[in-house]
Amino acid sequence: MRYRVIWDNDSACGTLGIYDTRQSAENAGNDWFWEMVSIDKNPKEAEEIYCFEIEEIEDEEAIDDSEDEHLIEGTISNFNRYIAGDR
């Protein structure tokens, strides 16, 4: 069993990647959450809106998703720059 982090900021959603343990997925989700809250123009509201969940996935699903991880990471990076005002 592996784990996927699914994030949502009320404007967009996506996945952060595939993790071998629930704890590493939880850590990645928390890192994403607090980074997004810290760069949001309204951090208090962001704390209420932004969220993530951990999904258990079969190893076969993880193999399929791993091909798209570089695209997802690039999208998150671009989105973070957009939120920060670096357009």
Domain coverage including residue 19: 2-82
State the amino acid at position 70 in one-letter form: H
Closest CA to 28 of 19, 36, 37: 19
Residue 46 in domain: yes
In the chain, DSSP finds a helix count (H) and a strand count (E) of: 4, 3
Residue 66 in domain: yes
Residue 37 in domain: yes
Residue 44 in domain: yes
pTM equals 0.68
Residue 87 in domain: no
Least confident of 6-10, 49-53, 61-65: 61-65
- According to the model, what pLDDT value does residue 87 have? 45
Distances 84 to 35, 47, 73, 87 between C-alpha atoms, Å: 11, 16, 17, 8
Residue 32 in domain: yes
pLDDT at 17 over 70: yes
Question: Mean pLDDT of all residues in the chain?
Answer: 83
Residue 51 in domain: yes
Number of domains in the chain: 1
- According to the model, what pLDDT value does residue 74 have? 52
Q: pLDDT: is 84 or 59 the higher one?
A: 59
Distances 36 to 33, 66, 79 between C-alpha atoms, Å: 5, 23, 10
- According to the model, what pLDDT value does residue 60 have? 73
